[in-house]
Amino acid sequence: CSSDLGFKIGIDYQTVRAFGGEQGHGLRLWVSKELDGKGLPRGLTETRLPDDPVQLDFSVLWDDNLNRAREDAEKLSDRIHSLTASKRLVFPFTERTRGTLTGFLSGDKAYTYSGYDRAGGGVQGELQYRTSAEFDAVTFALNGRAVFEDFASDIRSGKRYSFGINARQSWTDRIDAFVAVTRNFRDARSIVFDGRDTSARFNLDYALGQHSSFYAGGEYRRGDQVTTAPASLSYAALAKAWVADDVYGAAGLRAYRYDARTRIWTVGFNYAVGPRDSIDFSWRQAVSTPTTLITNPLYNSAGSSYRANQFSLAYLLRF
């Protein structure tokens, strides 16, 4: 069977009989999709999207420092598979103002450390104001977001809230810019995973052509950070709170919450494989440094930074 999204799904059954009475059976479930419509007559498919499409994001993320440890010997890595479904509604108010409301459901599945398995959902809203109808006019927005997360790790489950302001502008017909300042809150079942931080970020998108774009961005955060590591006097000297981390079981690792400055850089590439879907590659690096200065020589490693890299491959689909 086939769908109007370009997918084809089928089931094949095969049986083989050979001399000597030997028999073989096979059952195959397959899914296929045309990745590009170049060269096809325009009338073959309907490509117009609904006014408010549903978006599905399938991604695989590789993290080389999952526990945010400082020492190389303490760093743990994993692969996380994610699925997110979201839908946005737009509410025009005047010629220059409108509201948007996005609801979403998401889930993560970790390959090694199942305590990071997560199911969540939430809502995000924006009140947008565009200064004029000119091409390069700036659009300002007030935004808010609320998310509930249920982790396999009981101490991580809880709620996240954020609110802030942002602005976006088209600099040329190929370059779009975005900046935002956000205040973030987290309330978890353990006080170690409660958190407050303020972030400032920017992003630039550059359209390479009709089917692809390159993007890059940076973010600065100041506030609560959590590291999981073996019991350590240096971490204890920094920590506002700590708890045994249930993700790592018999390893006996502790999660420490402390105040830090964090810098995050992201670069990525997006390629449209069809009118409704695209593939996205990105690399993100975070460097976080505690803000507390420890002068006791017994804790001389307490001021060092951690570094983490994330590599992501995603398939984005709208229908």
Would you give the DSSP letter of residue 2? Answer: B
Secondary structure of residue 68 in the 3-state scheme = coil
The rounded distance, in Å, linking the Cα atoms of 150 and 145 is 17
Least confident piece of the model among 24-33, 76-85, 128-137:
24-33
Q: What is the pLDDT of residue 18?
A: 40
State residue 41's pLDDT score. Answer: 40
54: amino acid identity, one letter: V
Contact 192, 257 (CB under 8 A): yes
What is d(CA 204, CA 178) in angstroms, rounded to the nearest whole number? 7
Mean pLDDT of 162-172: 97
The confidence band for 107, taking pLDDT boundaries of 50, 70 and 90, is very high
Which of 12-21, 131-140, 175-184, 309-318 bottoms out in mean pLDDT, i.e. has the lowest? Answer: 12-21
Cite the DSSP H helix spans in 174-249. Answer: 233-238
* pLDDT score for 282: 97
* Choice between 6 and 181, residue whose per-residue pLDDT is larger: 181
272-297 confidence digits (pLDDT tens): 998 889 999 999 999 999 988 665 55
pTM of the model: 0.80
Q: For residue 46, which of 11, 6, 75 has the smallest C-alpha distance? A: 6
Residues 24-34: pLDDT tens digits? Answer: 444 455 555 55
Amino acid 256: pLDDT: 94
Instruction: Enumerate residues 6+ apart whose C-beta is below 8 A from 166.
Output: 140, 141, 143, 178, 179, 180, 181
Q: Which residue has the tokens 């743990």?
A: 76
Quick one: average pLDDT of 116-121?
96
Instruction: Please give the share of the chain, as a percent, with pLDDT higher than 90.
Output: 69
